[in-house]
Structure 1
Amino acid sequence: MESPFFRLLGGILVEPIPTWKGRPDEMPVPRLIACDVDGTLLSLGQTQLNPSTIELIKRLREAGIVFAPASGRQRPSLRRLFTPVSNSLPAVAENGTIVTVDDEVIFRATMERALGDEIICAILARDECEALVSGVEVSYLQPKTPEFTELLRDAIKYKIVLVDDATAIPEPYSKIAVYHPDAETEQKYWQQRFGSRCTVAVSGITWIDLMPLGISKATGLKALCTHLGIDPADCLALGDADNDIEMLDFAGDSVAMEHGSAQAKAHAKRTARTADDVFRQILAELDA
């Protein structure tokens, strides 16, 4: 069988606990888990954590393991999503440009203003594209359509500020996102135009994130590890998409979701069906 750990129901052996492929027995339990959110913890269209996921994360934290979401989402969105777990989870937000511990910003990367202005104007001038500019606590938008505002405010539930001129916001740019119906195809245009001056990463089906050059989730995770005094070798990273690749490479151990991108799976040390399966395996090892 795949795993020595089994579920018991009324004292009867019912099925093996799912495990990820390729994990060597001598690999230690991680001190820190950095976990992507959309596509890893949440499936497409899901807006809240499953109760089982909440319980598993709580148990990992009770066992002394630091759990940190690592996402392209804004800080307030992560705070709202993970409130059932804790009000003060450390987090790598905005694809690594903002890192918080105990709700305090310990790292922030910002884009050179002239470059950011150029990117915003290019997004607003391009058909089918909308721009979302990230600050620390809010995201700014100069929407072309009311549907884009409704998507962010009502569906995604972002904390947003509408502006007449997105290049005139009162704080530095942390990240600038392009919204497009087909991000995978559209990414090629933005990579060709700005890839030599900033990091360009697909972040889901409809989002392309542009960050300061060299910034990624790995940058944010490195800042978090340094702040907490945790060796990257003691980290486990979980992800499913190309914007997780640097983080998967950086952490001592890494798991990509089986449904994830080919690139993410190529950079991970192993794969798993779900993040919950990985969490259960870690807890089973702790209880063994």
Structure 2
Amino acid sequence: MTMNHQDTPRSQTILAALDIDGTLLPPGSMRVPRAVHHAVSRFLAAGHHVVLASGRSLIGVLPIARSLGLAGGWVVASNGAVTARIDQQALSGYVLEDVQNFDPGLVVQFARAEFPGVQIGAERVGWGYDVTRLFAPGELNGAQQVVAPDYLAERSTTRLVLRGVGVERLVGAVRAAGLTALQMESGWMDVTAPGLSKAVALEKVRANLGVEPARTVAIGDGENDLEMLRWATHAVAMGHASALVREVADEVTGTLDEHGAAVALDALHAGEGAMPW
């Protein structure tokens, strides 16, 4: 018999934390593959929780959450800097549950001194980014407003994006200053408040939902997913993930083209494989 959300004992509820880009859909895409949509729907219908945990800003995560039918669900954005709950009764369609800001002034000053041509973006939650120079379409979620570097440096933000050849060499210095720095790709670095990660935000969500710590799953493909994978009791790496990511995981599923995340969710729903419960 297939359980529904009304007869699934709370002690058996699973929280599945899902990365978006490279896990559910191609990077930058806004279209959820049918196989992923169906797998998420089956998982939710069984009474479990799906929490999107992404490096995208909130405005880039929300359309995916809505496409997946996560009404009333939780999302983690900006690599853990922003946590929100979907709420159709709210004017914005969501409620901010946790927002972690930091002062970007020192990073902006240092980055411009080391890389005079650096391109900088500072997130404005729910809207887009203040930028020193327009980013190419699809590189940032939401609107963009060009501002003077000094103006950008004086306003607190949840996420600072630095783009420029070699800018990843600043990761060590930014971390030494006490902030969280992630190299997302060559020439691209994200900076957030101290001590943040997807895992830190997800642990707060788990506690709020009342899910047992032992019944957590994470599926991801990138190095910004490492802490999330370590946090989960059962960690699943996508088949195309790097060796570093796959080594952290308890299981490796199919690639993005093979809809590996959908396969993993269906296996969880069916109780298949060597799950820890």
Q: So what's the TM-score if we normalise by structure 2?
A: 0.79
Shift of the alpha carbon at 1:171?
5.9
Partner letter of residue 217 of structure 1? K
Whether the 8 Å CA contact 1:99–1:223 is kept in 2: the answer is no
Greater Cα offset, 132-141 or 59-68: 132-141
Residue 215 of structure 1 corresponds to 196
Shift of the alpha carbon at 1:33?
0.5
Match among 194, 197, 217 for residue 236 of structure 1: 217
Residue 30 of structure 2 corresponds to 47
Partner letter of residue 106 of structure 2? E
- CA–CA distance in structure 1, aligned partners of residues 214 and 116 of structure 2: 44
Greater Cα offset, 40-49 or 262-271: 40-49
Whether the 8 Å CA contact 1:97–1:211 is kept in 2: the answer is yes
- CA–CA distance in structure 1, aligned partners of residues 234 and 193 of structure 2: 26
Whether the 8 Å CA contact 1:110–1:173 is kept in 2: the answer is yes
User: Percent identity, aligned pairs only?
Assistant: 22
Per-residue displacement from partner, 1:187-238 (whole Å, max 9, x unpaired)? 2x12222111211112356642111121111111011112212233211011
Residue 117 of structure 1 corresponds to 105
Are residues 1:285 and 2:267 paired?
Answer: no
Partner letter of residue 35 of structure 1? L
Greater Cα offset, 162-171 or 132-141: 162-171
Unaligned runs of 5+ in 1: 1-27
- CA–CA distance in structure 2, aligned partners of residues 239 and 206 of structure 1: 22
Aligned partner of residue 42 in structure 1, secondary structure: coil
Residue 269 of structure 1 corresponds to 250
Partner letter of residue 225 of structure 2? D
Residue 108 of structure 1 corresponds to 99
Structure 1 residue runs of 4+, over 6 Å off?
Answer: none
Partner letter of residue 229 of structure 2? L
Per-residue displacement from partner, 1:79-132 (whole Å, max 9, x unpaired)? 112322225431010100111123212222221x2xx11212344452563212
Residue 5 of structure 1 corresponds to none
Are residues 1:191 and 2:152 paired?
Answer: no
- CA–CA distance in structure 2, aligned partners of residues 138 and 167 of structure 1: 20
Greater Cα offset, 57-66 or 199-208: 199-208
CA RMSD in angstroms comes to: 2.5
Whether the 8 Å CA contact 2:28–2:139 is kept in 1: the answer is no
Q: So what's the TM-score if we normalise by structure 1?
A: 0.76
Q: For residues 205 and 41 of structure 1, do their structure 2 counterparts lie closer, same or farther at Cα, with a shift above 3 Å needed?
A: farther
Residue 20 of structure 1 corresponds to none
Unaligned runs of 5+ in 2: 1-10, 87-93, 255-259, 273-277
Question: What is the number of equivalent residue pairs in this alignment?
Answer: 246
Shift of the alpha carbon at 1:142?
2.4
Residue 137 of structure 1 corresponds to 126
- CA–CA distance in structure 1, aligned partners of residues 36 and 84 of structure 2: 22
Shift of the alpha carbon at 1:140?
2.1
